[in-house]
Amino acid sequence: MPVHNEEIAAAFDEIADLLSLSGENPFRIRAYRRAARSVRGQPGELAQKIAQGFDPDSLPGVGADLAGKMRELAGTGRCRMLERLRRSTPAGLRELLSLPGIGPQRARALYQALDIRGLAGMRDAIAHRRVRSVQRFGPKLEERLRAALAARTQHGKRVYASVAAPVARALCDYLAAVPLVTRVEVAGSYRRGRDTVGDLDIVVCAPPGADVDAALVKFDETATTLASGPTRSSVVLRSGLQVDVRVVPEESFGAALYYFTGSKAHNIRLRGIALSRGLKINEYGVFRGRKRIAGDSERSVLEAVGLPYIAPELREDRGEFEAALAGRLPALVDRAQLRGDLHVHTHRTDGTASLEEMADAAARAGLEYIAITDHSKYLGAVHGLDAAAVARQIDEIDAFNAGKRRLKVLKGIEVDILEDGTLALPDTVLKQLDVVVAAVHGQFTLPRTRQTNRLLRALDHPHISIIAHPTARLLEERAGIDCDWSKILRRASERPCYLELNAQPSRLDLDDVLVREAAASGALISIASDAHAIHDFAYLEAGVRQGRRGWLTPAQVLNTRPLREVRALLRRTSLN
């Protein structure tokens, strides 16, 4: 069976986790994290490239040892080192790392103090209030862990949309090749642009007699068949992702696609509107009595009930019907409208490519400008830049821009917001830069008032341009910081300071709700890739989807503008 990039990357991430749990050298752990990122950033399947003679030693940050493990994983789907680490790590211990607030040190502490080896043990220890007795835990952290476990139980296992994407593409291509199939579309939360997905819903257009169910069972990723029939089949893939396939005739395809795209709340409202007009809507079409009057396309379904087209990203019953009826649906931002990226890293800190390589990749991605925003020195884990290193990078960028290349590079930094709201670099350094991206990278669990004051003080700093990944959340790993966001958004709009929608698959921060609130407050949004490798500019597509879920128009996005306008807007952020 083919081995996908995500499986190789996940193996390296697991190795890094297990090394962390055993207290291994952080430089070694970081090497595996970087290798995982490099694999995820590869266009096409790495295993297939290796089979065709590609040498993984050529990947940024990948030496002979890591390349050997990539070959082993690509060829066999297994890694002997990973298997050894699994055997030597107490069963269930790594499971603790999936909880927000639990890193390797805390996981080790829970194991050593309470013999907690997994989520079941954690639930029991919390129920008996034993977690709070462990040093550096306490009642507040215990309560946050209780809430995280409850949320996990309620929502079940979900995966990043970026992880589901290659599987969805491969499966759609496979089903499209089945005889008599004329069209295949992914529906569900994936199509609505949710940041994570629990399963994949796929709608297939085909006449009776198309052998879609048999083909799905034979798909090389299928592990378990749950149901199989001529119009509906369900399987579980090797990755654990469930896939539900519906087969409908051409006259019902639009209605089925709309119905299975959801959301449930949106569909209930739509059916109510239809009933008020004497119509009935289901997955087979729009009906007046027994007569089908629409259903071959989504537009026909909406037109039948007197509505304009509503983009899938808006279908959450958050005011889209009211806006549609009033003729106020927004013209949503599109990826092609992004002209720049204001958060990009190089190998000077934790990136994997040089300034020139990142700039060339950005140009190939259709961008006109980028800002190089390597980390400040305070973030010790990535060898951040000090004042002297920033000065050297400024000279490097000036030399690059003097080369009269089509793409221009802005001088920037990603600087830490410290616990008291001050920044990790002095004003003498920051004032030399075009862009100062400020970010929270620690002290995530400060009380609401202190966390709010931390960001408010940072917003009072004279040189901040953009607040990066503002809530500091990590999807399925860490909840966002607790802040009074109404105060933060109001201050950002007044100052002004721009807010980032970070498109990294594990972040997508701001979330869609805060994106909409931020735009309504008047704050401009910077959709940024936070690129660490040359292929990471592809993440901008996911950032745009998140922006569309937040009802963003091109005018509300900072980097849809040409460089001249962006420079002027960045100068406005200076309080000098």
Condensed to tens digits (0 to 9), the pLDDT of residues 450-488 reads 999 999 999 999 999 999 999 999 887 788 999 999 999
d(CA 471, CA 494): 19
Candidate from 97-101, 395-399, 481-485, 533-537 with smallest mean pLDDT: 97-101
Containing structural domain, residue 107:
5-155
Candidate from 100-109, 266-275, 544-553 with smallest mean pLDDT: 100-109
pLDDT bracket for residue 160 (50, 70, 90): confident
pTM for the predicted model, two decimal places: 0.84
- Helix (H) or strand (E) segment spanning residue 325: helix 320-325
Condensed to tens digits (0 to 9), the pLDDT of residues 297-322 reads 999 999 999 999 999 999 999 999 99
Per DSSP, the residues of 216-273 read: HHHSTTEEEEEE--SSEEEEEETTS-EEEEEEE-GGGHHHHHHHHH--HHHHHHHHHH
Nearest residue to 314 (alpha-carbon basis) of 258, 255, 263, 253: 263
Condensed to tens digits (0 to 9), the pLDDT of residues 85-134 reads 988 887 778 778 777 777 777 888 888 888 888 888 888 889 889 998 88
CATH code, domain with 411: 3.20.20.140
Nearest residue to 352 (alpha-carbon basis) of 504, 534, 538: 534
Query: What is the pLDDT averaged over residues 289-295?
Result: 95
- Which residue type does 467 have? I
Query: What is the pLDDT averaged over residues 430-438?
Result: 96
Condensed to tens digits (0 to 9), the pLDDT of residues 335-349 reads 999 999 999 999 998
Condensed to tens digits (0 to 9), the pLDDT of residues 136-157 reads 788 888 888 887 787 665 555 7
**Which residue would you say has higher pLDDT here, 518 or 154?**
518
Condensed to tens digits (0 to 9), the pLDDT of residues 247-264 reads 999 999 999 999 999 999
Residues 55 and 195 in one domain: no
Residues shown for the chain: 576
Residues 471 and 518 in one domain: yes
Residues with Cβ < 8 Å from 81, sequence gap 6 or more? 15, 69
With a cut of 90, say whether residue 362 has pLDDT above it.
yes
Cβ atoms within 10 Å, residue 296? 17
Residues 93 and 55 in one domain: yes
CB-based contact 329:534 (threshold 8 Å): no
Residues 76 and 201 in one domain: no
d(CA 107, CA 98): 10
Condensed to tens digits (0 to 9), the pLDDT of residues 197-239 reads 989 999 999 999 899 999 999 998 898 999 899 999 999 988 8
Residues 454 and 469 in one domain: yes
Has residue 330 been placed in a domain? no
Query: What is the pLDDT averaged over residues 182-209?
Result: 95
Query: What is the pLDDT averaged over residues 157-166?
Result: 84
Residues 339 and 301 in one domain: no
CA quadruple 147, 480, 95, 223: dihedral, nearest 10: 100
pLDDT at 576: 56
Cβ atoms within 10 Å, residue 359? 27
Domain boundary among 155, 177, 201: 155
- Helix (H) or strand (E) segment spanning residue 436: strand 435-439
Task: State the total domains in the chain.
Answer: 3
Domain boundary among 135, 155, 175: 155
- Which residue type does 236 have? V
Residues 130 and 245 in one domain: no
Which residues on adjacent β-strands are paired with residue 385?
Answer: 376
CATH code, domain with 63: 1.10.150.110
Label each residue of 357-398 as H, E or C: HHHHHHHHCCCCEEEECCEECCCHHHCCECHHHHHHHHHHHH
Three-state SS for 432?
Answer: coil
Condensed to tens digits (0 to 9), the pLDDT of residues 47-56 reads 888 988 888 8
d(CA 475, CA 546): 14
CB-based contact 391:413 (threshold 8 Å): no
pLDDT at 380: 46
> Phi, psi (5° rounding) for residue 551?
65, 25
CB-based contact 546:504 (threshold 8 Å): no
With a cut of 80, say whether residue 44 has pLDDT above it.
no
CB-based contact 491:511 (threshold 8 Å): no
- Which residue type does 53 have? G
d(CA 176, CA 330): 33
Three-state SS for 28?
Answer: helix
Which residues on adjacent β-strands are paired with residue 501?
Answer: 527
d(CA 203, CA 456): 47
With a cut of 90, say whether residue 294 has pLDDT above it.
yes
Tell me the pLDDT of the chain averaged across its residues: 91
**Triad 542, 547, 551: Cα angle to 5°:** 145
- Helix (H) or strand (E) segment spanning residue 167: helix 161-176
pLDDT at 3: 80
Residues 151 and 165 in one domain: no
d(CA 32, CA 16): 6
- Helix (H) or strand (E) segment spanning residue 343: strand 340-344
Residues 386 and 456 in one domain: yes
Has residue 509 been placed in a domain? yes
pLDDT bracket for residue 63 (50, 70, 90): confident
d(CA 320, CA 301): 16
pLDDT at 452: 97
